[in-house]
A and B are shown apart, each in its own frame.
Chain A
Amino acid sequence: MPKVLIIDDSSVMRKMIQRNIQQSGLIVDSFVEAGDGKEALAKIAADSSIDLILCDWNMPNMTGIEFVKALRGSGNQTPIVMCTTEGSDAKVVEATGSGANGYITKPFTPDQLKTKLGAFLQIK
């Protein structure tokens, strides 16, 4: 069953993303949380069963784009969808060019999340 890692320095946002995914009808079995890129890398190293990663951009210690580059540099190809307020074309190009597989801009609705994540998760 799908497991999703949510990386965001806001605990409120991590809870909101979980709730939005559950409301959207996407099938997810469990969530793992990390407050920055560095913590996320440690969680991934300890858990090889993560199916999808949602990643904020601006975070302390290790930013989202630094995390994407580090994960791809290690050879890990788990899908990454950036989930951020950074919505400019330049940022989208930078993220996808670094190895991110998708992009969603905050704020979003459960339906928008469903559309963006439907390529990576099954829908009820």
Chain B
Amino acid sequence: MDLKGIMDGITLDIKETTKTLFETMIMLDLNYGDASLVDETQIKTDVIGMVSFTGQYHGVVGIFCSKKFALKVASSMLMMELEEFNNDVKDAVGEVSNMIAGNIKTKMSEKYGEMHLSIPIVIAGEGLSITAVGNVPTVSDTALSCFSKDPWLMTYFISEKEKFGVGLLLKESK
């Protein structure tokens, strides 16, 4: 099967996995957005949580969100209002990435053989910057650009009026 066909199937897995996670452990509303192959230059975000995997296919599963949304997720998981982007917030984003990646990996392993997961990595930007999205200037606390030579399969969601993405970078191992 070609990579595009595999990715189409995985989009459904990403939606189901993220929905289950938000219903059971994060307890925030969740609505689907769209899914598409996105060039890395289009990805601008405050926070990235990533888990890589290896096997017959290898790649990265990542969550891309704003600091504000990361704070909401961590606050909900801990059932306490967090106001600072501290280690608990990074830990929560890492665990969300881990749970999404683990469940996607389990579904992929059923079709494509056993795969191995890394532990999560969370990257958050610091300092002020200004980015322009379309014609609308946006001021954000931070802006990270993600660099890769291949496009990400990005599945977008809306929760608590915040848009976030779950991305998949997938390559067949030689």
Q: Do A and B come from one complex?
A: yes
In the complex, whether B103 has a CB less than 8 A from a CB of chain A is: yes
In the complex, whether A69 has a CB less than 8 A from a CB of chain B is: no
In the complex, whether A116 has a CB less than 8 A from a CB of chain B is: no
Do A90 and B114 contact each other (CB < 8 Å), given the known contacts A59-B119, A60-B119, A85-B98?
yes
In the complex, the answer to whether A87 meets B119 with C-beta atoms within 8 Å is: no
Task: Give the complex CA separation of A15 and B95 in angstroms.
Answer: 12
Looking at chain A's contact residues, the main secondary structure is loop
In the complex, the answer to whether A106 meets B99 with C-beta atoms within 8 Å is: yes
Task: In the complex, identify which listed stretch (A6-14, A26-34, A71-79) lies at the interface while the others stay far away.
Answer: A6-14
Give chain A interface residues in 79-124, CB to chain B under 8 Å. 84-88, 90, 105-109
Task: Give the complex CA separation of A13 and B120 in angstroms.
Answer: 13
Task: In the complex, identify which listed stretch (B73-81, B136-144, B154-162) lies at the interface while the others stay far away.
Answer: B73-81
Closest to A87 in B: B106
In the complex, the answer to whether A88 meets B110 with C-beta atoms within 8 Å is: yes
How far, in Å, is A97 (CB) from chain B's closest CB?
15
Task: Give the complex CA separation of A88 and B118 in angstroms.
Answer: 16
Closest to A86 in B: B102
Chain B positions near chain A (C-beta within 8 angstroms): 20-21, 24-25, 74, 77-79, 87-88, 91-92, 94-95, 98-99, 101-103, 105-106, 109-110, 114, 117-119
